[in-house]
Structure 1
C-alpha cells in the first residue's frame, strides 16, 4: 500500500519571481564587478592628446607622400661604435647634404631610448655614435631639411 505524504511547500508565483530576480541580480553584480575591474586596469585611453595626434598623423601622411615622390631608399646597419645609414636616389646615386637625426628604442618598451645625431662621413653615408646594449633596437632616422624618414630594426650581438 502506498501513502502519499503531502508536502507543505509549494512553488508559487512569488517564488519564481524571487528566483528570476535573484538570478539576474547575481549576473548584473558579476558583470558590474568585471566592468569596474577592466576599466580600472585599462580605461581605453591610448593617448592623452588624441586630437593633436590626429593632426600629427595627417602631417605624417603628407610627409610620406612627399617621400614617395622623391623615390629615395635607405639602408641601415650597426657599425663599430654606432649606426650607419646610406641614402640613395632612384638612380642609386648617394644623396648628399642631409641633416639626419634619429632615435634608437627598444621594440617593446619606451625605456632606454638613445637619441642620435648623424654626420655625413662620405657622400650619402651617415654615421651616428651609439653604444646600445645587446638585443633588438628600432631605428628611426629623420631628415630635417627634406621630407625623409627611415625606420629599420637593428640587432646588436
Structure 2
C-alpha cells in the first residue's frame, strides 16, 4: 500500500503565515484596546510644571517630618481612621482633614473623603473598600501647620 503525501504549496504557506500573524495582531489589538480604555495612567496633567514644584514639595516634606508627629492609620470595610500624636505624645485634636481614596491602577473607584473628629486625636471618614490595593492621600491644616500631606498605601484582603 502506497501512502500519498500532500504537497505543501505556496498558497498553503501563505494561509498559515496569514493565520499566524493574524492571531498575533488580533491579540495585540485587544490588549491595546483594554490598556487604553481602562485607565490613562495620567497622574499629573503636565509633568514639567509638576517638576517645577519639586523643591517646594521637598521643603514642605522636611518641615512636616521635623514636627515629629506620629500618625497612625487603620481601616475596615466601611471607614478609614487616622490618629495624630505630636512629638510630646499629646493627641492632636484641631486638624481639618480631607482626603482622596483611590486605587493604584484605575480611577474608577476613587472616592473623596471628609474626615470627622472622633476625639482623642482620631479622625474618621466613611469609605467603601473592596478587596485589593488602595491609597489614601490626606491633606490637612491646623495646630500650627499650614499644609499637612501624607499618603497611606494598604491592602484590603478578601473575606
Give the TM-score category using the shorter length.
0.5 to 0.7
Bigger-Rg structure (1/2): 1
Change (3 A) 1:151 1:50: closer
Q: Shift of the alpha carbon at 1:109?
A: 2.6
Equivalent position SS for 1:127: strand
1:93 corresponds in structure 2 to 90
Matches within 5 A, 1:40-59: 48-59=45-56
Preserved CA contact (<8 Å) 1:77 1:83: yes
Aligned mates of 2:150, 2:45 — CA distance in 1: 26
Quick one: distance in 1 between partners of 2:127 and 2:120?
A: 21
Query: Greater share of strand residues, 1 or 2?
Result: 2
Q: Find the counterpart in structure 1 of residue 133 from structure 2.
A: 136
Alpha-carbon shift at residue 51 of structure 1 (Å): 3.2
Query: Aligned-pair distance for 1:105?
Result: 1.1
Unaligned residue ranges in structure 2 (runs of 5+) = 1-41
User: What is the Cα deviation at residue 100 of structure 1?
Assistant: 0.8
Task: State the 1:67 CA deviation.
Answer: 0.2
Root mean square deviation, CA, Å: 2.2
Post-superposition CA distance 1:31-69 (Å, at most 9, x none): xxxxxxxxxxxxxx9864233202332331121011012
Q: CA deviation at 1:121?
A: 0.5
User: Aligned partners of 2:48, 2:71: CA distance in 1, in Å?
Assistant: 31
Q: Give the whole-Å Cα distance in 1 for the aligned partners of 2:80 and 2:43.
A: 31
- SS of residue paired to 1:52: helix
1:128 to 1:47, Cα distance in 2 relative to 1, 3 A? closer
Q: Deviations over 1:100-135 (max 9, x none)?
A: 111111122333211111111112100001112222
| 3-state DSSP of counterpart to 1:90 | coil
2:104 aligned residue: 107
Q: Note the residue ranges of structure 1 that are not aligned, 5 or more in a row.
A: 1-44
- Distance in 2, matches of 1:46 and 1:133, equals 22
Rounded Cα–Cα distance in structure 1 between residues aligned with 2:128 and 2:96: 21
